Structure 1
Amino acid sequence: MKKIALSFWQLKPVQWIRRIRGFKIVYTPLIAIVLFTIVMGIIMGTLQLQEKGQQEAALFRELSFAKQRIQLRFANNTDVLQSLGRDYVSGGESIKSKENFIIQAENLLQSNHEIAQIVWIDKVGQRQWRIPLDNLRTGWFNKNVNAETINQGLRKTLELSTSTGRPAFSQFMTLEVPSDEVISKEIRNVFWQTVPQISGNEINGMVAVLYTTQGLLEMIPGELKGQYRFTLITDNERILAISSDKNIPRRAFSNQTSLDIGVLSPNLSLRIDTYPPATNLTFRMLIGVVLGLSAFVIWSLWSVLKQMQVRQEAEANLRAETNFRSAMENSTPVGIRAHDMNKVITYVNPAFCEMTGWSAEELIGMSPPFAFWPEGEKNELTEKMDKALKIALSQRRKIGIEGSILHRDGSIIQTRTFIAPLVDEKGQQTGWVTSLIDISEPKKIREELAASQERFVAVLEGLDAAVSVVSNENGELLFTNRFYRERFGNTAKGHFELAGSDINENIMQSLSEGSSDKTAEGASLSSPYQETESEEIQLLDEASGISKWYEVRRRFVPWVDGHLAQLLIATDITPRVEADDLARQQEERMQFTSRLTTMGEMASSLAHELNQPLAAISNYCMGVAKRLQGHLDPALQKDILPALEKASDQAHRAGTIIQRIKGFVKRSEPQRKSSDITGIINDAVGLVEIEAHRHRLSINAEVAENLPAVDLDPVLILQVLVNLLKNSLDSMREVYPLSSRWSAPPVQISADLETSTFPAMLRIQVRDTGAGIPESVIERMFEPFFSTKSDGMGMGLNICRSVIESHQGRLWATNLMDAEHTKISGCTFTILLPLESPGSKDSV
């Protein structure tokens, strides 16, 4: 084996020579194909560029020719118009000169299709006559939508000619012409040219000519327009006229130039685009011949290449066959070593060298006990190897043993070694082959899994919840934790009671069959494993005779044997249920207590407020009696009547206050009804306004118009609003001393619609400018029995939130900040109530 390895290294240069020779043989035809394709591409590209250059040169010549034709036509027209004007002026505007002028103008109009109208303007700027008077083409110029545009353009052009004394042009004007008209294309875009007739330093008149942009293209010969498309455009790429509506190809050539038709002419450009040229049969035949010859040459070179590849493929298969075994041995992560019949190492692969840290030269020739065996295990490993060799020799099969290898750096590698006889091509055994697999990582994983299993079981045993697993086939209890065993024992009876039904073996079997049917029908395999929602189950504890409440969750899980099992987790929630019942009872008691407290406060305010109107009534009555004693003068009626009216008002006010307090403290069961929120807010303000006036404070109510009626309990909502208003007044009393309360802003209560939610809700806000609510308090202010007042019971806001939530609404508080956002400047309580009544009517 050593000689074979040395000869392999000696053959490496030869293999490199073969690779270089194979590269020349294989890639020479490919290089020839690529070079030939590149050369032919350059030739074709050069011909194409040459043809493109010729087309662009011809395009430029034709564009220059068309430009010259247009410029020459405008120059001739200007000369003719100046000649006509001079003859007309020199003839003294006689009838004969006018007729001659009209005849010459009509001849000019007929021979120049670009001219739509000729007008003579006298020296005072008045139109004398125009040619033609009226026809199908010029009739649109007198339309209301076009006359103003044409006249305005003519006035500006006349002013320009008058100021410069030269022929001038107007800007381009677009006329309103229906698209279905035959002449719409010809007269849509027009412009004026004015030619002044100057005698000495005085302008004796002007000839104005109305040009059509489409007519300018008529100056271009028809044979050019048949080969090219001409377009008149402005500086901003606006198209004024086009010679043909036929589309040009995507790769058409284009060029444009500026048309200088006069000194004072507007900016106008002429663009030319090519149409597809006529088929050049000779050129295309040449291209076809070149492409055909190129394809033939490429096919010939490709055939040569394929023949060379077939020849090299045979050589590559031979090399691959000889290198396959060594490649497999060198690339495998399994360590391989060969021994002769005397157990001496004769071959090792690179993987074995990496396992031991020894080189192949150092390992070859070693005999047991090997140097890479751990020092304390050499005798044991020697005995294992001898025993395995005997068994492999007698039974002619591979034997596997576990052991370890000492790496050269001192680390230990756990291995599993397989020993098999090494047989030559004659069927005779010449030695042994051993393959070693590194099992350190799998062994470590197994140990970690065992430890993880122990930790997981310890966690389940420590849970304060019952965990149980029951087989889905026979109802057998598969797993329980400590909490389950303490409460329900070691049977599945507690599991079935917590599951909420009497599940026996037949029911579990039907569940399993139903799951299999769903799977067969194509249902999702994950559907049986979905977790059910939690249920609250009440069970009687047989040991103590006390009912217990459990929160139960169930799901089906695949068990370790592959079958379905039901997992159940039950948590004892008896203390929570009892606490909820106690809290509910306390809340009901506190609602009644809150009503009694509020009634006492209202009674105190009522007694205090009624003293003044009753005393006023008494005083007015006594004054009337004294005035009437011995005085029957009718003049005294003026004094008596106002006093009586005031007494009546005070009595009415006292009655109103008593009625509101009576309605508030009246004991009745909560009941929803369609109510007007405006009346409830007014009643709340009336009840609290008594206390506000006593403390020199005020309340301002703002209710939006046309609010819909809301289905609610008016007494409970009134109680909430009264409580919130009183809290706002208390906050204002803390900030404003008694002496400065006259300047304190009022407590604001408002009602409107909140449209940012869907559906819209009724919004009630109580806003004050008091001390606000600290952040530590605003988080707990709605908790029962939490209060910041020394004499408070801590149930007011809790009851308020309960009332609002029973109406499916929301109640919250937010602090108001000052302009600098550095200090709290008040607080806002917001109530949102649904406009529509919910299905169930809750009560507090």
Structure 2
Amino acid sequence: MNAPLETAIEEAARLRGCLNDLVVVMAIPELWMGSEPPQIISTSLHVLVGMLHLDFAYVRMIDRDGRSPREFVQVPGQPELTSQASEITEALNRSQGDDYLKWPPNARLTLGGAEFSTAQIRLGLLGEIGVVVVGSQRFDFPSRSERLVLDVAANQVAIGLQQAYLLHEQKRIAGELDKRVAQRTSELASANEELAREVVERRWAEDALRESERASRLIVNTIPGLVAILSPAGEVEVVNPQIVEYCGRSLEELKQWGTSDTVHREDLPRAMLALMQSMASGEPYEFEVRLRRFDGVYRWFQVRGRPLRDTDGRILHWYALHTDIDDLKRAEEQLGLNEAFLAEGQRLSHTGSFSWFVDTNDVSFSEELYRIFEFERDLPVSLGLIATRIHPDDLPLLAEKIERAKVAGGELQYEIRLRMADGSVKYVHTLGRDANHPDGRREYLGAIQDITARRLSDEALTKAGSELAQMAKVMSLGVLTASIAHEVNQPLSGIITNASTCLRMLGAEPPNLDGARETARRTIRDGNRASDMISRLRALFSKKGVVAELLDLNEATREVLALSSSQLQRNRVMLRLELANDLPPITGDRIQLQQVVLNLVCNASDAMADVEDRQRLLIVRTERDERDHVRLTVLDVGIGLQPHVAEKLFQAFFTTKSTGMGIGLSLSRSIIESHHGRLWAGSNDGPGATFAFSIPRDQEHAADTTSIEGDS
């Protein structure tokens, strides 16, 4: 939750508490009916001490009969202590003077060796009744809301004391009246006149009481909230204008709230149950409901009810305060939703967030980060605790990053290893950035992602790719072994035969020199043929970088087919060449392009291995293609291609062969694309399939051979 929202929530809570305190304070006069001034003061001090958590409350009341002022003291958890009253009086007179009318509203007071913040409130309009002094050891006492509660409480106490004086005076006058009636029967006329005067005074007292009630009602009506007064049975008796204005309904309509739509129908059963339980137990109630506004819109309200009791403990009224919390409710719901989204997103992405205060090293982890580090959820996090999870070899890196952040600030980004309690290793990526916290401290906010799976998969993929490339080369070499042996064996056999013939011709009488020379030339030709063949094979299977050259695709194709002839013969494949005579030269890597042709020819031969009902025909064709390209096509009459297979043929590791590895066509496509060409496949109209590639013929679109490697 961000700071503005927290402040708003605290302010709302403080305002609700203040309003509740005001309601309680305004309800206190009902407890004073018929009470004497000491009891009024004692009750008021007890309520203020408990409500505002005071350390003491003191009253100096001026006696109307001219006697010495009376003093009262109340401290938490103890009855009235008259012994402390004199100590407070002496402390006040010593620090602020004897005239309480000149005391400041707020002051610091030393009492018993302790320092207190005090607030002084006069009783009566001009302080003619006395003064109230309350104290707390909190330095910021009193707050504005506490001052408001104290002012209202002092006003209520003054009204209560005035009422008590009036009642006392009424009792005194009534007693004197009875005495005069008994003693001065003969003076009936004057007694009647005196009685009339007493009646007027009594009416004046009643008017004063009614004025007090009116003042209390005025306070309720001016409270910035929706207030209702209920009977002991829970029936609505009075509502302030704010409720009428909000609901747009009269008092009589609001009395029927239990059967109307004033309360949302989904919230009504819960509200009724809470109210009935409170009426039965006499305990305060509190619940949240949606109330219908005058325009039909429902808003959330917090409803809090408190009973007003008489001196005998009987409930006279219930005061209910309705506080609009709709904005707060929606903010809390949105905050909860955002937090849930964030937690789920962190869980799915294996990313946790952290906060680190640089000056104090205070660290906080999100829930996902606790899971990544495998810490107990309630365990306080510190840099020392984090270090216990860092791989020993990476501790210097962590120390370097922390020191750099403290000195230079800026962005943090690095990868580090964690060693868990079971000895396993995790890889994490950390990203953080410093910022100024609202309180002025330097704070790093960041995220840590568990990248163990990605690192392990990258390593495994790299290793597998290397192994597969080598295996593919070895497999290709194994397939060609027989052909190589056959092709190399032919020139070697010719060399031996020619050498033997040459010896016989030279040993004849006379020696046949012309024949020997011709035989020697044939021997040299066969030796060069074998040497060229071995050189091409060595380049094909070596890791040496390649060099682009201008080449004849027909010639390169014939060389590949010469190497493959033995395999084709063993598989009983009939080869038909349809090489274009006017084929233009191309620029490319001879060995790589020959590897693609070899792969297509071998695949076509394997596709016809199980064909028995027709001749195993393999057609290799070259021709001009559109856009100044040259095309090579390999057609077979094998098993053909299924539609769903054709889409996956060029994917790495996909194969239809039981012994295949699925990388030949993928590598072939990479080679052709590096030559700015394309490789594709399709089914024939009859049996079999067709594979073809097309590459540009001119030098301008030649392959970028600097990026081509020979170990495909």
Shorter-chain TM-score range: 0.3 to 0.5
Using CA pairs below 8 Å that are at least 6 residues apart, which structure has the higher relative contact order?
2
User: Which has the greater radius of gyration?
Assistant: 1
Query: Normalising to structure 2: TM-score of the pair?
Result: 0.44
